[in-house]
Amino acid sequence: KKPIVALVGRPNVGKSTLFNRMSGTQDAIVDDVPGTTRDRLFGHAEWCGVEFDIVDTGGIDPDFSKQNTPLSIGSSEFISEIRSQALIAVKEADVVLFLVDAISGVTLADREIAEILRKSQKIVDGVEKPPVLLVVNKADSSRQRNLVAEFYELGMGEPFPISAIHGTETGDMLDALIQLF
């Protein structure tokens, strides 16, 4: 059975873009519009000969997808959506890729998701399961890549900068990912 990697993160961080990049498809709709399916999308990916399945968890109400600000974080609906997305991911995945956005920096929604992920992990043989890899997307320039240290505050270990849109800088992240299988 191939490992399952779930993409988790607040709306607009680039989950669907990364899904398409890693699966070599255009199956995930980028820049969600109202009416977009809320179903999870499965795809196949491979790195250095290691095959795995990826899941674009989607799941967040499309009405929230345009809201890049933390303003909606206070709404119980938003919280329950991101919670159920994160819980499903943690239950089904062997590894969680937790996406955040280098351009916006750390947001309240990111902190909320980090907290939910942490609380849902189980300790198996002294290590947290599933492991979470912190991926800082939209690190398109070297300037942005140099700013990723601020994401250490999420308490999810080393942040890996990538640019899903350009497909650059993903090697280190993928190397780290397959180590977690």
Q: Choose the contact partner of 138 out of ligand GDP, Mg ion, none; CB within 5 to 8 A by kind.
A: ligand GDP
Q: Is the peptide bond before 161 cis (omega within 30 degrees of 0)?
A: no
Enter the tokens of residue 55: 């899941």
Q: Number of helices (H) and strands (E) in the chain: give both, helices first.
A: 5, 8
Instruction: Look at the block and give the residue holding tokens 């590894």.
Output: 95
Cβ-proximal residue to Mg ion, closest one:
16
Cα(29)–Cα(58) distance, integer angstroms: 10
Q: Choose the contact partner of 137 out of Mg ion, ligand GDP, none; CB within 5 to 8 A by kind.
A: ligand GDP
Q: Is the peptide bond before 3 cis (omega within 30 degrees of 0)?
A: no
Out of 12, 16, 72, 170, the only residue in the binding site for Mg ion (CB under 5 A) is: 16
* Nearer residue to Mg ion within complex by CB, 16 or 137: 16
56 is annotated as contributing to ligand binding: yes
Cα(73)–Cα(69) distance, integer angstroms: 8
| Contacts to ligand GDP by CB under 6 A | 9, 11-17, 30-32, 65, 137-138, 140, 163-165
* Nearer residue to ligand GDP within complex by CB, 53 or 169: 169
Positions in the binding site for Mg ion (CB under 5 A)? 15-16
Numbered residues of the known binding site: 9-16, 56-60, 137-140
